[in-house]
């Protein structure tokens, strides 16, 4: 079997493993081992990469594309900041290493020294979809609370004023709402509120506010999609809500144009340090953190797909993503259907 392609980068006197590339006749997928992010995913017949966004930083390991927030989502406490704990946890701030694989499958791993956690990721590529499984281990002799949030972030040219985001989310809260009850007033997807006026989060033009809104998903599986009608390109995710009960939508605008959209799903929907999460406990009946016992390993998975939309009238978005036996059936708002194998 052909091994995954590994590109190397020499910087600052050190040799960094840069990209692990998986590919088949349909797609190319690249994971950057400096931070562990999915930074390239494109159809070979249409080489547009949704994951062009990256953090403005000189750090080698930084937020790029779809990265993993672990052991937290958002800011540490003041005491943790003083101890060097980074925003969104250590997973996107450390060097990952490749463990093995082939052209269609790769294993990679990282250690989080401050959190005393380890994560192993397996990526299996099949056609234009991939299954990503991550096992997180507590290396400490004591149990602890933690959070794990997938942070897919799309950028231009896939992202522009015409890009449409859809999901099966339900009740939501705006992160800018004051504690201790940020869920008041509650909103329902795709609605949010700005100064008491409704905002439709399916769209983003020149105003990112409210820029972070979090929703619960009531179904057994959550899904989120982004469609660029002109490019006829569809990016989507599916996951088990027993593992990731929250969907968090982040929006950013630079120079009056959409620059980033976070399609984030995970174990929490409150962007606060752990002292606040522990005090609050739950919102809309969903937990705001997970617990990992001493030496315990927990495994969570998601499926990502990239599809060319059918010819005809430009799509105005996705109506539903439903499981039908061994397939996911993706239905556009115009009634067209696409199918992709169910790998979950």
What are the pLDDT digits (tens) for 107-117?
999 999 999 99
**pLDDT given for residue 101 in this prediction:** 85
Extract the residue ranges of the chain whose pLDDT is less than 50: 1, 8-17
In the chain, the number of structural domains is: 1
Give the residue among 38, 36, 1, 42 at the shortest CA–CA distance from 23. 42
Name the CA dihedral angle for 156, 158, 164, 166, rounded to a multiple of 10 degrees: -110
Closest residue by Cα to residue 135 from 18, 272, 295: 295
DSSP β-bridge partners for residue 129:
126, 305
Report the pLDDT value the prediction gives residue 311, as an integer from 0 to 100: 82
Alpha helices in the chain (DSSP H): 78-82, 274-280
Q: Specify the CATH number for the domain of residue 182.
A: 2.70.98.10
Residue 178 main-chain phi, psi, to 5 deg: -70, 145
Q: Report which secondary-structure segment, H or E, holds 233.
A: strand 233-240
Structure confidence at residue 5 (pLDDT): 54
Structural domain range at position 199: 5-341
pLDDT of residue 315: 81
Structure-token match 């900041």, residue found: 81
């Amino acid at each position: 079997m052909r091994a995954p392609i590994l590109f190397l980068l020499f910087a600052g006197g050190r040799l960094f493993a840069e990209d692990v590339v998986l590919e088949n006749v349909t797609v190319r997928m690249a994971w950057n081992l400096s931070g562990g992010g999915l930074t390239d995913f494109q159809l070979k017949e249409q080489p547009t990469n949704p994951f062009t966004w990256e953090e403005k930083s000189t750090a080698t390991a930084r937020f790029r594309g779809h990265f993993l927030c672990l052991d937290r989502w958002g800011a540490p406490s003041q005491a943790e900041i003083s101890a060097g704990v980074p925003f969104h946890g250590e997973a996107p701030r450390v060097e990952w290493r490749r463990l093995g694989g082939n052209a269609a499958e790769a294993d990679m791993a990282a250690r989080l020294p401050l959190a005393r956690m380890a994560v192993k990721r397996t990526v299996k590529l099949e056609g234009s979809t991939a299954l990503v499984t991550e096992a997180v281990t507590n290396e400490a002799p004591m149990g602890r609370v933690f959070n794990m949030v997938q942070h897919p972030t799309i950028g231009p040219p896939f992202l522009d004023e015409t890009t449409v985001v859809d999901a099966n989310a339900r009740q939501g809260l705006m992160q800018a709402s004051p504690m201790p009850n940020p869920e008041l007033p509650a909103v329902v997807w795709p609605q949010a509120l700005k100064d008491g006026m409704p905002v439709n989060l399916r769209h983003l033009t020149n105003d990112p506010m409210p820029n972070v809104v979090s929703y619960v998903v009531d179904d057994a599986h959550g899904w989120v999609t982004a469609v660029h009608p002109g490019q006829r390109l569809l990016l989507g995710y599916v996951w088990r809500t027993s593992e990731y009960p929250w969907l968090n939508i982040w929006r950013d605008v630079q120079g009056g144009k959409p620059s980033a959209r976070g399609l984030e799903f995970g174990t929490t929907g409150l962007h606060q340090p752990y002292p606040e999460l522990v005090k609050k406990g739950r919102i809309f009946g969903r937990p705001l953190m997970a617990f990992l016992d001493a030496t315990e390993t927990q495994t969570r998975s998601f499926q990502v797909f990239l599809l060319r939309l059918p010819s005809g009238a430009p799509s105005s978005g996705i109506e539903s993503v439903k499981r039908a036996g061994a397939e996911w059936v993706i239905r556009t708002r115009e009634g067209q259907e696409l199918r992709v194998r169910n790998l979950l």
